[in-house]
Amino acid sequence: MQFGKEFWDVYTQLYALWMPHFVPHRQLLDELLAHARISKHASVIDAGCGPGLLITRLLEQGHEGPIYGYDFSPSAVEAARKRLADYAHIAIEQVDLEVMDWNRVPKADAIFNTNVLYALKDPEPVVRHATSRLKPGGVLAISTLSNPNVDLLVRAHHRWTRLHATLEQRRAEREQQWAFELMGLMNTQIARATQARFHVWDEAKLCSVVESTGLCIQYRNGAAYAGTGALVIARAQ
């Protein structure tokens, strides 16, 4: 991972506070899940699960199958375990996706990787390893930063809030505004680092890497996450 555990631990704590309120992120998760089209009994891997927001969204949609979450950050793992403590069919583990033994990861019907690749030192092997853990006919759903422009995300969030937010949503957002502002500063660091280290993949690059694993792309969006991300859904043969 780029940066160290301390950086991602702080980032994760802010992420867990703010992202449930952040409209572009909710919309990204809903887009991933809508186009992945997995059964509620499917086995799922969330590679880079953070504090468990994608898994939470799955549960809100009635998912009942086993879910395995993996993350680099101890704080993320702690937050995810706390958030998901009431669900016996969910297991969260702290691992580094770049050095873990993928052979011990159970085969799954669906693997999600949401805004993680940009933070890795070498993302392509992680995509290949993840693909190797898909069952026949399984789905790989990946999003990653293609245009790390924090201003686009902020404008999209505030535009939705002005038009649709309830009083309760506005109150909750104000209470966590400090976390959002600090995350913005950290996101600026991430954006500069990813651009300097060539880990910003556009839609064409992401599709090329996924297709090189032998998967068939079923959905792609080069302007996901309020225009800052690329998203690909692909299926194993």
pLDDT digit string, tens, across residues 27-83: 999 999 999 999 999 999 999 999 999 999 999 999 999 999 999 988 889 999 999
* Residues contacting 217, CB < 8 A, separation 6+: 207, 210, 211, 232, 233, 234
Helix %, strand %, coil % of the chain (to 5): 50, 20, 30
Tokens 């500063």 locate to 185
DSSP assigned state of 20? G
Percent of the residues in the chain that have a pLDDT greater than 70, as a whole number: 80
pLDDT for the residue numbered 167:
67
Q: Is residue 174's pLDDT more than 90?
A: no
- Domain chopping of the chain, boundaries: 5-235
Query: Starting from the edge strand earliest in sequence, which strands make up the sheet with 90-94, in order?
Result: 90-94, 67-71, 44-47, 108-114, 134-145, 229-235, 216-223
pLDDT for the residue numbered 191:
55
β pairing state of 134-145 and 229-235: antiparallel
Q: Which residue has the higher pLDDT, 153 or 54?
A: 54
Q: Is residue 155's pLDDT more than 60?
A: yes
pLDDT for the residue numbered 32:
97
Distance CA 57, CA 104 (A): 26
Buried b (16+ CB within 10 A) or exposed e, 17-47: bbbbbbbbbbbbbebbbebbebeeebbbbbb
Predicted TM-score (pTM) of this structure:
0.85
Q: Is residue 15's pLDDT more than 80?
A: no
> Which residues face 92 on adjacent strands?
69
At the fourth CATH level, which superfamily is domain 5-235?
A: Vaccinia Virus protein VP39 (3.40.50.150)
Each as own residue / partner, the long-range contacts of residues 79-84 (CB below 8 Å, 24 or more positions apart, any chain) are 79/12, 79/13, 79/16, 79/50, 79/51, 79/52, 80/49, 80/50, 80/51, 80/52, 80/55, 83/16, 83/51, 83/52, 83/56, 84/52, 84/55, 84/56, 84/59
* Distance from the first to the final alpha carbon of the chain: 30
As given in the structure block, the two tokens for residue 51 are 């504090």
Distance CA 36, CA 45 (A): 13
pLDDT for the residue numbered 225:
92
Q: Stretch 214-228: mean pLDDT, rounded? A: 95
Distance CA 40, CA 59 (A): 9
